């Protein structure tokens, strides 16, 4: 079970563009969608080579109620925006397969 007092952040789901270019690739635009309450915990941060430079990559764990995540239609293709931080979803876990707590493992690149 997840305590309602821990769900102090609002998570906004961003879905990728559904339009395809001439090569069949998705566009780079994102559309804001459903929102749900969530708890955000930063696990770790490290410097990594990214593109032609160095970036800080943070690992963030987001917890929410399973029904809220399912109702929002969240998948691993989407992004989450919490407190003006855009998070790329690595995986979504149904804790103990109990349909109560969703653990969403994310990364943020700065």
Q: Which residue has the higher pLDDT, 6 or 107?
A: 107
**CATH class of segment(s) 4-109:** mainly beta
Q: DSSP string spanning 17-75?
A: P--B-TTSPBPS-EEEEEEEEEEEEEEEEEEEEETTEEEEEEEEEEEEEHHHHHHHT--
Q: What is the pLDDT of residue 4?
A: 66
Provide φ and ψ at 12, rounded to 5°.
Answer: -110, 130
What would the pLDDT profile of 41-97 be if each residue is shown by its tens digit? Answer: 998 888 888 777 888 899 999 999 999 999 999 999 999 999 999 999 999 999 999
């Amino acid at each position: 079970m997840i305590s309602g007092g821990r769900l102090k952040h609002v998570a906004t789901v961003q879905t990728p563009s559904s339009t395809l270019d001439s090569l069949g690739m998705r566009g780079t635009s994102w559309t804001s969608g459903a929102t749900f309450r969530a708890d955000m915990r930063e696990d770790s941060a490290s410097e990594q080579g990214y593109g032609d430079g160095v970036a800080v990559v943070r690992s963030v764990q987001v917890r929410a109620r399973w029904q809220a995540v399912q109702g929002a239609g969240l998948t691993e293709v989407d992004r989450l925006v919490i407190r003006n931080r855009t998070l790329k979803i690595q995986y979504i876990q149904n804790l103990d397969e109990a349909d109560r707590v969703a653990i969403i493992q994310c990364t943020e690149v700065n």
